[in-house]
Amino acid sequence: MVILGRLFYLEVIASERLQKKAIDQWTRELPLKASRGKILSSNGTALATNKSSYAVYIRTRQVKNPERVASVLSQIFGVDEQKLLDKMRKKATSEITVKRQVDKESIVKLTNYQLDGVYYSVDNTRLYPYNQLLCSVLGYSSIDGGGQTGLELYYDKYLKGVDGEVLYESDLTGQDIKDKTPSYTPAVNGLNVVTTIDIGIQQVVEAALEKAYKTYTPKGCSAVVLDPQTGRVLAMANLPSFDLNAPPRNDIATLNALSRNTLVVDCYEPGSTFKVVTALANVNQALKGDKSAKSLDYIYSSNRYRELAGGRIKCWSDHKNGKHSNQTLALALNNSCNPCFTDIALSLGTKTFYSYITALGFGKKTGIDFPGEASGVIIPENSVKIGDLARIGFGQSVSVTPIQLAAAVSAAVNGGNYYKPYIVDKITTEDGRLVESFSPTLKGQVATIKASAILAGYLEDVVTSGSGKNAYIEGYKIGGKTGTAQKFVDGKIAQGKYVMSFVGFMPSNKPEYLCLVIVDEPVGGNYGSTVAAPVAGQIFKGIIDLKDIELII
C-alpha cells in the first residue's frame, strides 16, 4: 500500500511538476520574446510601438574560454568584465543574461568573434514615436516588457503577449547533444490597444498648455477634452512632462512625479467651476415645480455678503459702480457671485443638493480605464453643517478629480445624460481583427433636456459677455465657466497660491467638445478668467481649424 501510494503521488499528483523539472534538466532553452502590442490613436496612428533589438545570453557550461568571453562582451556591450567572469565561474549558474535591448550593429560585432557558449535572440524595445506626447497617459514599460504605469499598466494583459522558446536537448554536463533537432515554441505577440485619443486634438492641447507653461511658469497645468455625448476622452495632457523614450529611471522621485496623470489620480478644490452643478440642480428642480428651488426669474439680493455661523461669505467683487447689484441666476453665473450660489444650496437643502452631487459622480470613482483613479472627498451627507453646505454651493469644502468635474459638466450640458469617461475604444489583433470593444456607458439621467439646454444657454452668456469672455471665438457658440480656488496646505489657506481653471464646451446648443483646463499656481496670473480661459479658447480655435468647423452664428 505504501509503494502504491508513492506511485500514485509520483504519477498523478506530482507528475506535472516532475515532468517540468526533468525537461529543465535535459534541455536548454533560448527565449523568444513576444512583441508587445501597439497602442494606437483613434485613427490608427501608433502612439506606442516597438523596434527590433536583441538579447544576449551565456550558457556557462559551453564556454571554453571564460576570460576571452568576458573581455569581448565587456568591450562590445560595456558590461563589467570581472563581474561577468565571476558569474561564469559559478557552476550553479547555467545561463546568464548579458544584456537586453541590444542594437543590430552590436550583434554583428558579436558574431565576428564566434564565441562558444554565447547566444542571442530577438528582443523588443518599446518605442514612443511622439516622445513626450501623452506621456502621463500612455505610461511606460519595464525593460522586461511589463507595463508599469498608465495605459501600459492598465491594459498590460492584452499588450504583453506570450513569450516563446527554442529548446535544445543537452547531456548531463549541459552540452548540446549533436544531431538533435531543437524544439520550437513560437512567441504569441501582444494585442493592439486602440484608444479614443484624437491625435490632432491632442497636439492642439499640448501646444496650448506649453504656451501657458512658458507664460506663467506654474507648478503644473493640465487639460482634458471629452466628447460629452459619449464620454470618449479625445485628449488628455499634463505638464511638465518627460520623454517616454528616455524616462529618468535613475531619479525615481522625479519619474513618479512626472508620470502622474493628475487629471485622474489627484484631487483639488474646484472653486467656481462647481457652480455649474449648483445651477443645474436649481434649474432642474425649479422646472419640476420644487418650491425649495429658486425660480428662473428670481432676483437675488443686492447684499454682497451672507452672514453664516462660521464666517462671512462675500462676492469677489462689486459688479456695478462700486455697489453689488441685484441679479438673476444667469447674471450670477456671469459674475461668478458666491452669495447667490450660497442661497441656492441652502434653499435646496442637503438632501436635494446631495442627490445631484451623487448622481453627477462626485465622491466616487468615475470608472475611467486608468490605474490609480482617486475618488475625491465629499463631506458625508449626515455630517454636513449649514456652513459646509453653503460653501459647497460655490465650490469650496469639496474636493474633486478633474475627470469627475469634466464628466459632470458634460452631463449638465449634453441633455442631462451622465456617461462614464473612457480612453480605450477596442482591442485588436496585429492584422486588425476585433477582439474586444468598449462602448459608451450611460450611468443615468441627471436632469431633463430642457433644464440642460437652459443651463447651456446661461453658460454661453458667461463666455459671450461674462467672466469667460477670454474663451470667446467670434462666430461660434461656446459656453463655459471660470474658476479660481485658493489652495490649502496643512489644513490652512496658503496665501498667494491658487488653482485657476475653466471648463467650456462647443457648440453650446449641442456640445461635441468639452474642455477642462487647470493651471496650478501660475506666476503673474490673477484669475481663471485671465489664465485658464484663454488656454481653452486656444484649444477650441485649434479644434475648429483642425476639423474645419463652419461658422455657427
Give DSSP secondary structure letters for 230-253.
Answer: TTEEEEEEEES---TTS--TT-HH
Contact call for residues 282 and 352 (beta carbons, < 8 A): no
Longest dimension (CA), the chain: 104
Q: Kindly provide the b/e burial profile for residues 515-553, where b requires at least 16 CB atoms within 10 angstroms of the residue's own CB.
A: bbbbbbbbeebebbbbbbbbbbbbbbebbbeeeebeeee
Contact (CB, 8 A) for 268 and 498: no
Domains of the chain: 199-255+263-547 (3.40.710.10)
Question: For the CA atoms of 449, 455, 456, 462, what is the dihedral angle to 10 degrees?
Answer: 180
Helix then strand count (H, E) for the chain reads 19, 19
Cα–Cα distance, 169 to 50 (Å, whole number): 32
| pLDDT tens-digit readout, 8-43 | 888 888 888 877 766 555 555 667 788 999 999 999
pLDDT in tens, 138-162: 999 988 889 999 999 999 999 999 8
pLDDT tens digit sequence for 165-194: 766 666 554 555 566 666 778 889 999 999
pLDDT tens, residue by residue, 394-448: 999 999 999 999 999 999 999 999 999 999 999 999 999 999 999 999 999 999 9
| Rounded alpha-carbon distances, angstroms, from residue 124 to 101, 164, 188, 190 | 6, 13, 13, 12
Positions marked active-site: 272
User: Is the distance from CB of 125 to CB of 51 less than 8 angstroms?
Assistant: yes
Strand partners, 313: 306
For 351, phi and psi rounded to 5 degrees? -60, -50
Q: Are 113 and 72 in contact (CB under 8 A)?
A: yes
Grid coordinates belonging to 509: 446648443
Q: Would you state the cell numbers that stand for residue 411, as one nine-digit string?
A: 452631463
Letter for the amino acid at 111?
T
- Flag whether pLDDT at 452 surpasses 80: yes
Mind listing the pLDDT tens digit for each residue in 368-402? 999 999 999 999 999 999 999 999 999 999 999 99
Q: Which residues pair with 19 in a beta bridge?
A: none
Residue 344 pLDDT level (bands cut at 50, 70, 90):
very high
> In whole angstroms, how far apart are CA 285 and each of 150, 336, 361, 456?
40, 21, 18, 16
pTM value?
0.88
Per-residue CA distances from 418 to 80, 108, 266 (Å): 58, 58, 21
Q: At what angle do helices 449-465 and 275-288 cross, to 10 degrees?
A: 140
The pLDDT tens digits of the residues spanning 216-241 come to 999 999 999 999 999 999 999 999 99
**In the prediction, which pLDDT does 310 show?**
67
The sign of the torsion formed by the CA atoms of 34, 40, 45, 48 equals negative
Please give the pLDDT value at position 531: 95
CA distance linking residue 9 with residue 18, whole number of Å: 11
